[in-house]
Amino acid sequence: MQGKTMEIGIILNTNDAETCWNCFRLGNEEIGVCPVSAMEEMIKMIEESDKILTFW
């Protein structure tokens, strides 16, 4: 994958403060941070991402 940027999608679904903090620390490096509130937006993010990380 030399020369190509990997697109990572992050899905956060928790009320646990420590899990939220870890997710935000990981996502802090991301340039295009966008909250997703609708199922259609989440599906599009999943389709466009090379990898998906989930935090529950």
> Could you read off the pLDDT of 2-30 as tens digits, one per residue?
778 888 888 888 888 888 888 777 776 65
Q: What is the tens place of the pLDDT at every residue in 34-56?
A: 666 678 888 888 899 999 888 87
Residue 42, Cβ neighbours under 10 Å: how many?
14
The closest alpha carbon to 49, from 13, 11, 2, 3, belongs to: 11
- The pLDDT of residue 50: 94
Burial 20-39 (b: 16+ CB within 10 A, else e): eeebeeeeeeeeeeeebeee
User: Which backbone phi and psi does 19 adopt, to 5 degrees?
Assistant: -65, -45
